[in-house]
Every structure is written in C-alpha cells, then in structure tokens.
Structure 1
Amino acid sequence: MSVTIIFGSDGGATKGVAAKLRKKCQGRSVDIKDATADDFENCHLLILGSPTYGDGTLQTDWEDNIAKLRGAKLAGRKVALFGTGDQVTYPFSFVDAMGILYDEVVELGAEVVGFTETEGYDFVESLAVREGKFVGLALDLDTQSGLTEKRVTAWLSQVLAFAPA
C-alpha cells in the first residue's frame, strides 16, 4: 500500500508531523510547493496537512498552490487530513485549515477517512468540526505536545485500515 503525505509548513511543526507519519507508514512526504498531480493521484491513501494561521486561514504555500489540489482527480479516493494549531491563542479558529482542506477534497469527490473526537481539546469553535468530530487529526504542538505521539499513532492505525491494499 502506498501513502503520500502532502503538507505545507513554515515554522517546521507541520513538516515534522508529516515526517513522523511518513516514517510510521513507510510513505512519502511532499511539500505542497513541490507537489504534482501524480503526488495527489498515484497512491492508495492521500494524507494532507496544514497549520492554521491567525484567524483561520490556510498556510501560505497551500493558498499559493491550491490549484494543484483543485486540479487533482480525487473522485472516489481515500483522503485523510491532519492540522496543527494553537487552541489557547486561537480558540475560535483552531485547526480551521483542516476544515478548509476537507471542503476542497469533498468537492472533488474524495472520501475523507480518519475523523477524530473533540474530547480532550479546549477550543471554542473550528471549521474542522463536522457532526461533532474533527474531520481528521487535530494537533496542538504548543499546548498539548505531550499527547502528539499517542494521537498520531492511534489516528494512523485508524486511517491505514481504510486504505485499499
């Protein structure tokens, strides 16, 4: 089974999570700046990751390269999402970028896997919450870094179960 992780990262936190995921699943990780249509389309499971900036926007490289995602053929594909954010400083936009990516891939016909519980987080609202769950793996590396390894491991085993062999 092949897994491709496409991420955007400025400060390195989201890149670090992508690297951790890559190692755990023997996948490939690609910065969105370098991603091609093949990176989106030629894998069994596609994982997309972005930090959320300020009041709830995608990371700059994602914004600059969103046409790459929009041009990908994702209909019927399994896609998982992860987002990094700071629930204390930005409680009204925690991991909003993950919700933005969710809307993009659903519009392209992808099947999103890997929803997670909101329990254990302390935020007010998020575009990444649908029907009471996060649309993917929400990570706060600023205030809950001690939970990252456990959350990554549990989530990855969940999403890999959905990927076709």
Structure 2
Amino acid sequence: MIAVIYGSTTGNTSDIAVKVAEMLGDENTELFDVKDVGLEIIDAFDQFIFAIPTWDYGEVQEDWEEVWEDVDLYDFSGKTVAFIGLGDQLGYAEWFVDAMGMLHDKIVAKGADVVGHWPVDGYEFDESKALTADKKSFVGLALDEDTQRDQTAERLEAWCALVKPAFL
C-alpha cells in the first residue's frame, strides 16, 4: 500500500494527489492530508508519494511547515519514496518546486530509496533546489498548474507509469 501524503492550500496539490491515487489504483493507495494526520502514519507504511507545493520565494506550504521538523524524527531506511512538486516556473523562476527538493533532501538523509526522477525538458525556470546532481532531472515530478496546466495530465500518466513498477 502506498501512502500518498500531501499538503494543499489552493486545492491544486490535493487534486493531483487524488489523480495519482486513481492512476495507481485506489486499491493500492491511501490518501492523507498532512494537516489532518501529521506524520504519525509514516511507521505504518513502506511506500510513499509526497506531494508538496512551493510557495512564494521557495517556501514550504503552510501544512508542511507545521510538520517540517518532525520529518527528521522518522527513519526511512528500506522505504520507497517518490515526490511530486508544484510550482510556478514563470512567476517564481528562481525557486521552481524548491519545496520538493528540500523535502527530498530531508527524507533521503533519513535513508529513503527514491524513485521517479523526472526530466527538466519542457520547463523554463532559472533555479530549483529540486534538481538532481547532474541538473538533467528533477528529484520527482514537477508540475506547474499556473502556466502549464495543459501538460499535467500527460505528465501524470507518464510519471505514474514510471513509478508504478517500483511500488507494485
């Protein structure tokens, strides 16, 4: 069972989390809003998809901010983890999906096995903390519901097909 954990202020990230759960199969996923459950459920799962939007100038969304320090309390050794980040690559080009990169770094430091890197092709941004070391990929699926909403469905389908074998 995959725990899909998200935080959402405007509803975009929760909508994406629901779509991912549907694409991977409701029988294989369980959805959790981080503001409702916190992180206590971490110990009950071995597979995770974390969905996090970036706010303003590279800031963590408010619900994630509430549990940010708690992430360090969990051991992710032997757990399979994937990330989805939402951001605005034109309005905030210097901080595109930074929160995804920051969460990724915290969880990797606690031993997680990460799947689901996503190519940077097709995006226009200046900087991102969510890039792999070679800067050719994001550490997870990057989505821009502000300027590239028309590409979200296709990206979601391709990314779910990419990560599904690692989870199921």
Class of the TM-score when normalised by the shorter of the 2 chains: over 0.9
Corresponding residue SS for 1:161: helix
Deviation at 1:44, TM superposition (A): 4.2
Partner of residue 95, structure 2: 93
Give the Cα separation in 1 of the matches to 2:162 and 2:44.
Answer: 21
Q: Answer yes or no: is the 8 Å Cα contact 1:128–1:134 preserved in 2.
A: yes
Question: Counterparts of 1:3-152 in structure 2 under 5 Å?
Answer: 3-25=2-24, 26=26, 27-35=29-37, 37=39, 39-130=41-132, 131-132=134-135, 133-152=137-156
TM-score, scaled to structure 2: 0.91
TM-score, scaled to structure 1: 0.93
Residue 15 of structure 1 aligns to which amino acid in structure 2? S
Deviation at 1:37, TM superposition (A): 4.8
Corresponding residue SS for 1:69: helix
Q: Answer yes or no: is the 8 Å Cα contact 2:13–2:53 preserved in 1.
A: yes
Corresponding residue SS for 1:6: strand
Give the Cα separation in 2 of the matches to 1:55 and 1:37.
Answer: 25
Which deviates more, 3-12 or 59-68? 59-68
Q: Answer yes or no: is the 8 Å Cα contact 1:35–1:68 preserved in 2.
A: no
Q: How many residues align?
A: 163
**Percentage of identical aligned residues:** 37
Q: Answer yes or no: is the 8 Å Cα contact 1:40–1:69 preserved in 2.
A: no
Deviation at 1:160, TM superposition (A): 1.5
Partner of residue 165, structure 2: 161
Deviation at 1:161, TM superposition (A): 1.2
Give the Cα separation in 2 of the matches to 1:33 and 1:145.
Answer: 25
